[in-house]
Amino acid sequence: MSESALDRRRRLLGPAYRLLYAEPLRPVRGEGVWLIEADGRRVLDAYNNVPSVGHCHPRVVEALARQAAALNTHTRYLHDAVLDYAERLLATCPPPISQAMFTCTGSEANDLALRIARCVTGGTGVVVTANAYHGVTAALAEMSPSLGAGVALGPHVRTVPAPRDPETFARDVAGAFDALAAAGVRPAALLFDTLFTSDGVFPDPPGLVAGACASARRAGALVIADEVQAGLGRTGTHMWGFARHGIVPDLVTAGKPLGAGHPVAAVMARPEHLAEFGARSRYFNTFGGSPVSAAVGLAVLDVIRDEGLIARAAASGALLRARLLALAARHGCLGAVRGAGLYLGVEVAAGPAAAARLVEGLRRRGVLVGLCGAAADVIKIRPPLVFGAGHAVLLADRMDEALSGDRLQ
Nearer to ligand PMP among residue 49 and residue 99 (C-beta)? 49
Nearer to ligand PMP among residue 133 and residue 403 (C-beta)? 133
Nearer to ligand PMP among residue 188 and residue 191 (C-beta)? 191
As a residue count, the chain comes to: 409
CB of 346 to ligand PMP, least distance (A): 19
Taking residues 231 to 270 in sequence order and writing x for each that binds ligand PMP by CB under 6 A, - otherwise, the string is: ------------------------xx--------------
In angstroms, the CA 196 to CA 253 distance is: 14
Among 57, 79, 118, 134, binds ligand PMP (CB under 6 A): 134
Nearer to ligand PMP among residue 134 and residue 357 (C-beta)? 134
- Binding status of residue 194 toward ligand PMP by CB under 6 A: no
In angstroms, the CA 233 to CA 75 distance is: 27
Within a 13 Å sphere around the CA of 364, how many CA atoms are in the beta-carbon half? 12
- Binding status of residue 136 toward ligand PMP by CB under 6 A: yes
Taking residues 66 to 105 in sequence order and writing x for each that binds ligand PMP by CB under 6 A, - otherwise, the string is: ---------------------------------------x
Cis upstream peptide for 205 (omega within 30°): yes
- Binding status of residue 135 toward ligand PMP by CB under 6 A: yes
Nearer to ligand PMP among residue 256 and residue 357 (C-beta)? 256
CB of 371 to ligand PMP, least distance (A): 13
CB of 289 to ligand PMP, least distance (A): 15
When CB distances to ligand PMP are compared, the closest residue is 106
- Nearest by Cα to 162 from 206, 116, 195: 195
Neighbours of 99 (CB within 10 A): 18
Among 142, 199, 226, 377, binds ligand PMP (CB under 6 A): 226
- Binding status of residue 200 toward ligand PMP by CB under 6 A: no
In this structure, the strands spanning 42-45 and 367-368 are parallel
Stretch that binds ligand PMP, among 130-138, 209-217, 242-250, 395-403 (CB under 6 A): 130-138
- Nearest by Cα to 253 from 227, 233, 272, 273: 227
Considering only residues 169 to 188 of the shown chain, the ones binding ligand PMP according to CB under 6 A are: none
Among 52, 92, 99, 107, binds ligand PMP (CB under 6 A): 107
Among 35, 43, 228, 386, binds ligand PMP (CB under 6 A): 228
Q: Distance between terminal CA atoms of the chain? A: 38
CB of 183 to ligand PMP, least distance (A): 26
Q: How many chain residues touch ligand PMP (CB under 6 A)?
A: 14
Residues that bind ligand PMP (CB under 6 A): 105-107, 110, 133-136, 193, 226, 228-229, 255-256
